[in-house]
Structure 1
Amino acid sequence: MEPANELVYIVDDETSVGEALSTLLRANGKRVQIFTSGQDFLDFARRDSCACLILDLKMPGLGGLEVQKLISTKTSIPVIFLTGRGDIPSTVRAMRGGAVDFLTKPVDEDALLASVERALRQDYATRQEAVEYARLVARYESLTPREREVLSLLARGLLNKQAAFELGITEYTVQIHRGHIMRKMEADSFATLVKLAGKLELEMMSTSHGKM
């Protein structure tokens, strides 16, 4: 990760808390943006960067759990909850909603910094996975309709001759298609090709593209 591209959002209705957290994080090289309400954060046009959210559980208006739920319908960002009046049900709901951590005020500085680092690493990994998947889909899109048919059958475990029979073509033609597929999908082995096909969930892909 490049620290210059990282951003930590803080949402807490207590200005003093937000400022204290901001000072701590900035002193440790983090870029910070503070909001005093959940609605302000939701209305904010976030930049596309590696980020995490430190979110107060109990706030006037939208509470932390409500903000977490609303965020999850639009985007993905790791959340660290803070509370001075936490309870077990809230903790469970927060964790089920994908929260990275649930810390009690006054917050232990080392625990908070460790949680922020973990949250940023998580967001970075999620972003990388999304980029890699988009590239994989683009490679799949470069296949011809017939190549997609062949890939789908081979990924299901059919031999070349079995795929040829299913498609009403020669085994040699299947071998030719297989070579083109391996090259376009950038697979260095057939095992890798099958693994890539599994990531694509070809049945779902074929539904979106019509008959493969």
Structure 2
Amino acid sequence: MNSLNTEAFTLFGQHILWSDAIGNSFGLVALALGRRRSLWSWPVQFLSGLILFGAFYGNLTGSAGKQAVVMVVALYGWWRWNRDRGTSADGHIAPRFATWRERAAMIAAAAAGTVAVALLFKAYPHLSWDPWPDAYIFVGTVVAMYAQARGMVEFWFAWLLVDLVGVPLNFANGYAFSGFVYVIYGALVLWGMRDWWLRSRRGPRPALEGAPA
């Protein structure tokens, strides 16, 4: 993994690490596979998280911790989609809109989680250079991936909100390639959002409120 933390190229005066370039490229592939509702989105996301963990470890410890959580959620997503992918005629996960209860729960979890993680980062400054935006991205990523694992169209909205902070934060911290990748994420998110939105209108009705996870 250390060999991946060497410079790959220079972009607009910023040095790009192999781990940053490769890990984020896999992240783009994972998101594109997510739009197609492919089960392979999850192992590719796991691999992306593993490589980026190596890129951030020892430098941005909070970002490395986020990648560890991403890998755990990727395993959950793999399990969930394996279980639920037979709910649509084409053998893939059937997109649906979240219930109002699910939306409220995710918003509440995102708000509480952001505050809790930001306070942790502030208490241990070596974990993050920018506690509040780092916490926002950390928690927002987990919420987005959870919603994706549940087949919710809202996961695209969550990713878009993460992108709005992720782009300037990565550029400010010297991870130029990550910043550019977040810009591409934004385009993929809008594309995927439209696809899942339309499919949700043709698929089965949303699950009943309060249904078990």
TM-score computed with the length of structure 1 as normaliser: 0.24
Higher helix share: 2
Greater RCO structure (CA 8 Å; 6+ sep): 2
With normalisation by structure 2, the TM-score equals 0.24
